[in-house]
């Protein structure tokens, strides 16, 4: 049975961009690239120390998305590069004091729509992921990590032996993203699969030329919002759609960009892992208290014009906003 007792929670936080004179009142979500830049020295230790000194007592929680993207490297880590992998994890863990935010879809359901979480929504466990990254940062070698011989606290896992849980979670996120892009492409042009098999292109020439000019962004945004509400099992009342659609605008713009690339330019979903996580990360911006700190210019470009664009900022901009 579809739930209908949905009330969108109002927030009182300001939407204007941060300025140097402001005290930060938002919760910053640090994109994965930030931790790599701290490790490599692109972000100086002095600047990072200033960030750490300004974090609240409990730390700034990591987003679940950032943690998943950090864990992607588990597939490729070797003894030679394990120390660097572990350092990135440790930098992130210390900033957050081990805290990890729930899945953004879960937070939208719980804190924005104010409806019970549907039973089919089983987000990755933030607590389990926190234990995984804590084990990784304490391992002295890859062998120690994989053989379960990391010194651990009581009732804590001592390694990642006999479990591929992080990999399974990451693959689940990727597969969900791939399905969403392909289903959107199918709604726009149902024959793209047959066209690709026959010509190596997903759209015929005559359609490809007109596609970008004729794409109705507002209609696609409404469809995206409707699909999300279906997934939440919430009635698609006009007032709910009207309130939720602008909150999802950045995520919608990013998705439509990728769908357009997929149909027009043979974009490979499987080869663009970072886009999976960027789209997922943008879901947090539906909730007014979050900002995203990222040095990824693609994220800025693909969300330009969105009401949430002022809450996506570079590390330098965020640093200047600190007291």
The DSSP secondary-structure symbol of 5 reads -
Q: For 235-292, what is the HEC assignment?
A: CCCHHHHHHHHHHCHHHHHHHHHHHHHHHHCCCCCCCCHHHHHHHHHHHHHHCCCEEE
Residue 321 pLDDT exceeds 50? yes
- The Cα 168–Cα 204 span in angstroms is 37
The whole-model pTM stands at 0.83
Q: What is the pLDDT of residue 71?
A: 87
Residue 171 pLDDT exceeds 90? no
Most confident stretch, 79-93, 159-173, 239-253, 257-271: 79-93
- Band (pLDDT 50/70/90 cuts) for residue 15 is very low
Model pLDDT for residues 68-127, shown as the tens digit of each residue: 889 888 878 889 999 999 999 999 999 999 999 998 988 998 888 888 887 776 767 888
* Domain range summary for the chain, segments of one domain joined by +: 165-287
> Tokens representing 75?
């597939």
Q: Which of 13-17, 123-127, 167-171, 181-185 is the least confident region?
A: 13-17
What's the average model confidence in pLDDT over 8-14? 40
Residue 180 CB-half CA count within 13 A: 23
**In contact, 95 and 60? CB cutoff 8 Å:** yes
Residue 3 pLDDT exceeds 60? no
> Tokens representing 145?
């990590």
Q: What is the pLDDT of residue 140?
A: 86
Model pLDDT for residues 174-198, shown as the tens digit of each residue: 787 788 888 888 888 899 999 999 9
Compute how many other C-beta atoms are within 10 angstroms of the C-beta atom of residue 14.
12
State the DSSP H helix or E strand holding residue 28, giving kind and residue range, or none if neither: strand 27-30
Most confident stretch, 147-151, 157-161, 283-287, 300-304: 283-287
């Amino acid at each position: 049975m579809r739930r209908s007792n949905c009330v969108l929670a109002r927030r009182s936080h300001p939407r204007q961009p941060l300025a140097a004179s402001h005290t930060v009142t938002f919760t910053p979500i640090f994109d994965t690239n930030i931790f790599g830049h701290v490790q490599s020295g692109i972000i100086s230790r002095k600047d990072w120390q200033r960030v750490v000194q300004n974090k609240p007592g409990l730390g700034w929680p990591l987003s679940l998305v950032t943690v998943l993207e950090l864990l992607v490297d588990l597939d490729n880590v070797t003894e030679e590069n394990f120390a660097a992998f572990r350092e990135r994890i440790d930098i992130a863990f210390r900033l957050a004091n081990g805290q990890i935010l729930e899945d953004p879809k879960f937070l939208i359901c719980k804190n924005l729509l104010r409806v019970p979480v549907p039973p089919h929504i089983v987000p990755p466990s933030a607590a389990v992921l926190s234990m995984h990254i804590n084990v990784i940062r304490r391992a002295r070698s890859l062998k120690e990590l994989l053989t379960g011989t990391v010194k651990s606290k009581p009732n804590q896992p001592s390694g990642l032996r006999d479990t591929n849980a992080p990999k399974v979670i990451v693959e689940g996120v990727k597969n969900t993203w791939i399905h969403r892009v392909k289903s959107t492409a199918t709604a726009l042009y149902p024959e793209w699969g047959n066209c690709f098999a026959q010509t190596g292109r997903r759209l015929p020439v005559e359609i490809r030329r007109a596609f970008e000019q004729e794409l109705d962004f507002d209609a696609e945004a409404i469809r995206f919002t409707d699909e999300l509400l279906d997934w939440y099992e919430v009635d698609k009342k006009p007032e709910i759609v009207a309130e939720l659609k602008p909150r999802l605008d950045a995520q919608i713009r990013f998705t439509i960009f990728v769908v357009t690339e997929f149909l027009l330019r043979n974009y490979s979903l499987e080869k663009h892992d970072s886009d999976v996580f960027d789209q997922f990360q943008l879901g947090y911006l539906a909730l007014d208290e979050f900002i995203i700190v990222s040095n990824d210019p693609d994220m800025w470009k693909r969300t330009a014009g969105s009401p949430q664009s002022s809450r996506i900022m570079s590390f330098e901009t965020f640093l200047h906003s600190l007291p």
